[in-house]
């Protein structure tokens, strides 16, 4: 499944290079308008991230995300700075929110994550961002000593809806995804995997589809025009690779 990303910083739709907060390109001052645009082009799911919250731990862009969730008719998944029950339940209460994504909280308090999985079946995803194979947290500012795959395996049989795997070195670079790493990650777990980072062409999407990953999040390639969303969805469907949304 092709999932457009809408990364929000300071109320605007931006893209970062390798997650660096001072390496941003602003694509729109109106993120809800961007969301409607992707919906009109056939997106079945949107990936929303509060970048300010990912670093600071507070839901800085909540009002913008709420507006997007209320205006689109397709489901959204939300990540960035969701580190306590109050934030999780606030987002889960919004219209059209299919699931929330826990990253730092999943690493620092796996018990909390697993309890939420039990309370909100199918609505909790875990984001695992890798730098040189190690899990990074707190908006990618802190690299842990835990291998990304080890962290992923620890959530087997916990009720996690899916794992979102991002290769930080490829993110926002249009350099092509690390297909081998995605395959190793997807092969290591029975949980559905969504891949992110470096996608620059339809061929990249097809390659990821063959790794066993169930979806791919695309940002810069869509905003720069390197990939046409409607065309990519049609191509993927023609190959029988599109359709997952669980």
The answer to whether 132 is a known catalytic residue is no
Higher pLDDT, 177 or 57: 177
Query: Residue 19 — very low, low, confident or very high, per pLDDT cuts 50/70/90?
Result: low
Q: How far apart are CA 92 and CA 77, in angstroms?
A: 10
* Domains with residue ranges and CATH for the chain: 2-238 (3.20.20.70)
Per-residue tokens: 43: 């997106």
pLDDT over 70 percentage in the chain: 92
First to last CA, the chain: 10
Per mean pLDDT, which range of 31-45, 100-114, 130-144, 205-219 is the poorest?
130-144
pLDDT in the model for residue 163: 98
Tell me: pLDDT of 233 over 60.
yes
Cβ atoms of 28 and 64 closer than 8 Å: no
The answer to whether 129 is a known catalytic residue is yes
Cβ atoms of 148 and 134 closer than 8 Å: yes
- Give the predicted TM-score (pTM) of the model: 0.92
Query: Residue 56 — very low, low, confident or very high, per pLDDT cuts 50/70/90?
Result: confident
Compute the CA torsion angle 185, 105, 67, 246 (nearest 10 deg): 40
Q: How far apart are CA 137 and CA 73, in angstroms?
A: 31
Q: How far apart are CA 71 and CA 33, in angstroms?
A: 9
Strand-pair partners of 195: 165, 216
pLDDT in the model for residue 223: 94
Tell me: pLDDT of 190 over 90.
yes
Given the residues 7, 167, 171, 204, select the one marked as catalytic: 7
Cβ atoms of 180 and 211 closer than 8 Å: no
Query: Residue 171 — very low, low, confident or very high, per pLDDT cuts 50/70/90?
Result: low
Tell me: pLDDT of 21 over 80.
no
Burial string for 113-146 (b: 16+ CB within 10 Å, else e) reads bbebbeebeebbbbbbbbbeebbbbbbbeebeeb
**CA dist 116 to 74, 83, 120, 160, 194, Å?**
23, 12, 6, 9, 20
210: three-class secondary structure by DSSP? coil
Query: Residue 15 — very low, low, confident or very high, per pLDDT cuts 50/70/90?
Result: confident
Given the residues 52, 129, 167, 171, select the one marked as catalytic: 129
Q: How far apart are CA 92 and CA 113, in angstroms?
A: 14
Dump pLDDT digits (tens) for 90-114: 999 999 999 999 999 999 999 999 9
pLDDT in the model for residue 58: 76
């Amino acid at each position: 499944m092709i999932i457009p990303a809408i990364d929000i910083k300071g109320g605007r739709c931006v893209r970062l290079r390798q997650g660096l907060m001072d390496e941003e390109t602003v694509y729109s001052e109106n993120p809800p308008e961007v969301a409607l645009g992707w919906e009109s082009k056939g997106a079945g799911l949107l990936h929303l991230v509060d970048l300010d919250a990912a670093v600071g731990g507070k839901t800085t862009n909540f009002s913008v995300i709420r507006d997007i969730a209320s205006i689109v008719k397709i489901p959204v998944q939300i990540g960035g700075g969701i580190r306590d029950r109050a934030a999780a339940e606030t987002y889960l209460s919004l219209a059209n929110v299919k699931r929330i994504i826990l990253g730092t909280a999943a690493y620092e308090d796996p018990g909390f994550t697993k309890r939420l999985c039990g309370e909100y079946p199918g609505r909790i995803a875990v984001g695992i961002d890798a730098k040189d194979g190690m899990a990074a947290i707190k908006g990618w500012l802190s690299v842990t000593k835990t291998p990304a795959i080890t962290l992923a395996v620890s959530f087997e049989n916990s009720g996690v809806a899916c794992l979102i795997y991002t290769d930080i070195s490829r993110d926002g670079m249009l350099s092509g995804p690390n297909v081998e790493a995605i395959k190793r990650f997807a092969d290591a777990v029975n949980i559905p995997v969504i891949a992110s980072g470096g996608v620059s062409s339809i061929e990249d999407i097809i390659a990821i589809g063959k790794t066993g990953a169930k979806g791919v999040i695309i940002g810069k390639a869509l905003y720069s025009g390197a990939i046409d969303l409607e065309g990519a969805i049609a191509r993927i469907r023609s190959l029988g690779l599109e359709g997952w949304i669980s």
